[in-house]
Structure formats: structure tokens, C-alpha cells
Amino acid sequence: MNTTLNISAYKFVPLPDAAALREVLLARALDLQLKGTILLAEEGINLFLAGPGDAVRGFVTQLHTDPRFADISPKESWSDHQPFKKMLVKVKREIIRMDHPAIRPANGRAPAVSPATVKRWLDAGHDDEGRPVVTLDTRNDFEVDAGTFEGAIDWRIQKFTQFPQALLDHKTDLQDKTVVSFCTGGIRCEKAAIFMREAGLEHVYQLEGGILKYFEETGGTHYQGGCFVFDERRAVGADLSVIAS
């Protein structure tokens, strides 16, 4: 019986008080007996939590009382066990490390495209202007191996800090195409899309909500395999249930 609610969410928003916020969020999570990981940095928050549904949603309700997090809308899935061993709240330099400090999504996102629109484009083989559409996987190679979009571009990167150079090495291959960057939940493809735009690629979008939101809203059409997740579930299928352990 699936009694454990798993959520993931992130937001790029200035958090100059990240160190103090760490103590507050850790106390709340422990009080609600949640487990998972919350990453905080000056650039924002990235969280993965699991526990009883009421407790997890109670944590989100408390999070929403901070105006900076009022619009956070976590992606949800259920499992029959707690996939995390403990509760960690860490303060990092970046919530997703790229080593390009000029890339600051809080100052302006790259254009996003909804899962329904991506599905429609992939159904047709082109975007609404007739331009060829390619999907670009911004995840690490072992994550891609668990599953990805049919025909997705995969540069076999081993860590996200390698993405900028990989893009520069392959930039000419993407000219005159509409590029949809994607990742698990949206955080990496958001930074990747900004970097690509700044590198001079005009028709670049990020998949809103990442693979998990695409599964939730489309059932996973045009996607092969599962989606790797960084907990004991290892991977979830298009119905967001566990497919490997």
C-alpha cells in the first residue's frame, strides 16, 4: 500500500539568510518526522522530502507562509516505503552546481514550454512554426541510461559542470532547431536553457517541471524507460510508481 508521499520542488530566489533558514526548515521537518534533503544557497532552494501525506503537505503549507516560497508547487508521487534514510538540510554555494555564477535564473528565466506543448510538437515532429524540434537531456549519463525521450540528444556528461563545454562543442548542431532542454524536475534544464540562450541559440526552451511533470500530465508519450531519482526508489515509471529498487 502506497502510504508515503514523495515531493520534489525548487525555486531560484535570492536567499541571503540561507544559513538561518537551514535551522528553521530542519526543525520543521524533524518535528513532522520527514526525511529527505533540502539544499539552500544564495540562489534558491531545492528539496526532496518524503513522509505521511498530511505531514508532507503540512510542511509545504508552512513553507508557503514565506512570501519567497508562496508559489512553490511540488511534484508528488507515492511509494510503499520511506525512500530516505535521514533528514538533511545543507547550505551550498549553488543548489545545482554549474560553476557559472553569471547564470542566475532568479534574474530572469529562459522561456518554458509545457509538457502538453512538448508532446504536441513531438507528435508533429516540429514546433508551431514548422521548425525541427530536438530534445536535449541535461542529466548525467547514468541517469539517461535509466530512460529518456526517444531520439534525445545525450552528450554523456558525468556531472552538470561539464554541460557548458559540451554545449559549446556541439552548438553548431543545434542551430536552426528548436531545442527543448529537460531534466528530472526542471532545475538543471532551467540553468542549461539560460546558458544556451546566452551562447547565442535563439530557439531554446526548458521543459516546465521536467520529466516528472511530463509523466504526470502526458503519461510519458515519446519517452522510453523510467526516470532516475536520487533516493532508494532509484527510478519511477510514467505512472510515477517505482519500477526499480
Which residues, given as ranges, of the chain have pLDDT below 50?
Answer: 245
- Report whether CATH 3.30.70.100 matches the domain 4-91: yes
Quick one: pLDDT at residue 114? 97
For residues 102 and 199, the answer to whether their CB atoms sit within 8 Å is no
Per-domain boundaries in the chain: 4-91, 105-244
184 to each of 39, 56, 70, how far by Cα in Å?
16, 20, 22
Residue 198, H or E segment: helix 187-198
Of 36, 33, 44, nearest in space to 8 by CA: 36
Q: What separation, in Å, do the N-terminal and C-terminal C-alpha atoms of the chain show?
A: 16
Quick one: pLDDT at residue 72? 96
Report CA Rg, the chain.
Answer: 18
Residue 227, CB half-sphere, CA atoms under 13 Å: how many? 25
Fold equal for 4-91 and 105-244: no
Which sequence positions are flagged as catalytic?
183
Q: Is the dihedral of CA 140, 141, 144, 150 positive or negative?
A: positive
Please state, as a whole number, how many other Cβ atoms lie within 10 Å of the Cβ of residue 20: 12
Rama region for 36: left / alpha / beta (φ>0; ψ in -120 to 50; rest): left
For the domain made up of 105-244, give the CATH fold: Oxidized Rhodanese; domain 1 (3.40.250)
